[in-house]
Amino acid sequence: MKLILAIVSNDDSSAVSTALTKGGFSVTRLATTGGFLRAGNTTIIVGCEDEKVDKAIELIGSESKRRTEIVPSTASYDIGRYASFPVEVQVGGATIFVMDVEQFIKL
Ligand code: 2BA
């Protein structure tokens, strides 16, 4: 058995969790904070049989792949006016750890 820890952005966590649950995986979500940016992210815990790890990673990736999005941004001018223009930002991505499980106990 393996334990998967997947750190994803808060924006993707719900879709990742839904995809895993629909795929028959048991999922736990933890609210976590990145040490570098100190921004909130979500750590998803999945315990599963060895042969199902690839499927879980595929589902996580399908809902959290790093991608570019266009978002509106504003710039202010000294004359008190603001202009809105689109900028490209990188969103999503997942950091995944897969570990061996020595024991799995439910009491
Ligand atoms: P990512 O490498 O995609 O990491 C996203 C988040 O995943 C991290 O958030 C952290 O919560 C977790 N994570 C990544 N690698 C990990 C590991 N080896 N062990 C434990 N947790 C891990 P943040 O720490 O806030 O980092 C956000 C982004 O800032 C990172 O994106 C990376 O692009 C950059 N970054 C992180 N540490 C850096 C450093 N020391 N120097 C330069 N850039 C860094």
Whether 52 and 25 have beta carbons less than 8 Å apart is answered as yes
The pLDDT, as a whole number, for residue 62 is 95
Whether 16 and 59 have beta carbons less than 8 Å apart is answered as yes
The pLDDT, as a whole number, for residue 55 is 98
Of 3.20.20.80, 3.30.420.40, 3.40.50.720, 3.30.70.120, the CATH number of 2-100 is 3.30.70.120
What's the rounded mean pLDDT across residues 82-102? 91
1 three-state secondary structure: coil
The pLDDT, as a whole number, for residue 51 is 98
What's the rounded mean pLDDT across residues 33-51? 95
| Token pair belonging to 99 | 């570990």
Residue 7 Cα, ligand 1 centroid: separation in angstroms? 10
Q: What is the pTM of this model?
A: 0.87
The pLDDT, as a whole number, for residue 66 is 86
| Closest protein CA for atom 19 of ligand 1 | 95
* pLDDT over 90 percentage in the chain: 72
Q: Is 36 in the pocket of ligand 1 (CB under 6 A)?
A: yes
| Closest protein CA for atom 14 of ligand 1 | 95
